[in-house]
Structure formats: C-alpha cells, structure tokens
A = this chain, B = another copy of it.
Amino acid sequence: MFSGAQFSIYPMTADFVPVIIDSIAALDAHGDKLRRETDDLSTLLVGPPDTIVQALRDAFVAAARGGAHVVLSATLSRGCPGEPDDPICTAPVIPPLQPGENPVAASLARYQPGAATDVPVTAQISLYPLGTDAHMARIGACIDFLKTVGVFDCAKHFCSKLKGDASTVFAAIERAFIDFAPPSAHVVLTVTISANSPSRA
C-alpha cells in the first residue's frame, strides 16, 4: 500500500514565501511518520492516510493563523496500483464493513475532530473511487456522512462544499478519504480549503 498527498499553500500576499515556509515547518510535529519532498509546484507527503490529513491540517492552520487570505489545494491518493508498497504508509487496520453494516454509521464512530482551532474555513472536496463501477454509490455514501457530521454546506458541480472550524473539516476529510472504499482500493480525494477570504459568505 502506498498513500500520500501532493499539496500547495497559496498565500494571497506579496510576502508569500515565509508563510509557505512556516506552514511546511509545521509538518515537523509529525517527525519521521512522514517522508516529504518539495518542488516549485507542490510538497509531497508520503505516510499513513490518517497522518497525511492531520499534517495537512497542521500546515494549513499554521498558514492561516498569519492572517493573510490563504488557500491549500491538495490531491490525496491511496492504493494506486502504479505505486510501490512502502512500510512508512502502514496504517492502523480498520475492520472491513460487515454485510448490512452502514458505512456512514461506521465512519461517524471513528470521527474525531479534536480541539477547535478557531480557524473557520470553507472547503470543497471531491472523492474519486477508481477501478470500480461502484464509484457513484461510494461518493453518495461519503456525502451522506458529510451531511450527518455537520460540515456539509452545499452541493456544487463536481464537488461538495464544506464549512466549519478547521478541526471539524479536516477530521471529516480524514474519514472521507479512508472509509468509503475498501482498505486496498485505489482512491483519490482532492481538496481546496480557504481561510481569511474577503469574499467569504
């Protein structure tokens, strides 16, 4: 199994370089649980799916606390058959759904938003379960989860818009990425998340 993310931080300020560097420094809290690599377009994180999302939250919150309008854009991927297995990606085993078990209820039981960050965000996410003709059913179950957990704002073409404290939105994204396809399946999730926007509704 291989899992990770490519992410970028976009601070809408002329002084964008230190905001990006401080944001990436926030990843240090995850120590050697993640491997990372930065080029001119994005930073790669390789590690367990849950740690990946928590690290994105920490990087984004560090950037947003500077006060500038800032956006994080990320592509998260797990189970790609073209990627090599990597021990750093080993995640806690989640029991497979039993016949008749409700995926939304199972996911809600694992949802752990933790302490509020006091960083309100808007976001939009898309889930792509690949290699299966069951992708629309899985996306539908994920949207039901987002509604039930309270972060769903509205449907948009090609994505779901979310809002809430960064803690709740990233915790919901963590479950969306992990829970709505089998553990070994190839799944991609894309996210755009924004703070301090002057046009925020």
Contacts and interface: CB of A to CB of B under 8 A. Distances in A.
Interface of A: 2, 4-6, 8, 10-14, 16-17, 39-42, 44, 46, 69, 71, 73, 75, 77, 80-83, 122-124, 126, 128-133, 135-136, 139, 156-159, 161, 186, 188, 190, 192, 194, 197-201
A69 B8 CA distance: 14
A139 to B, nearest CB: 8
B40 A201 contact: yes
Given A12-B14, A16-B69, A75 B159 contact: yes
Given A42-B124, A128-B130, A194-B40, A158 B11 contact: no
B192 A80 contact: no
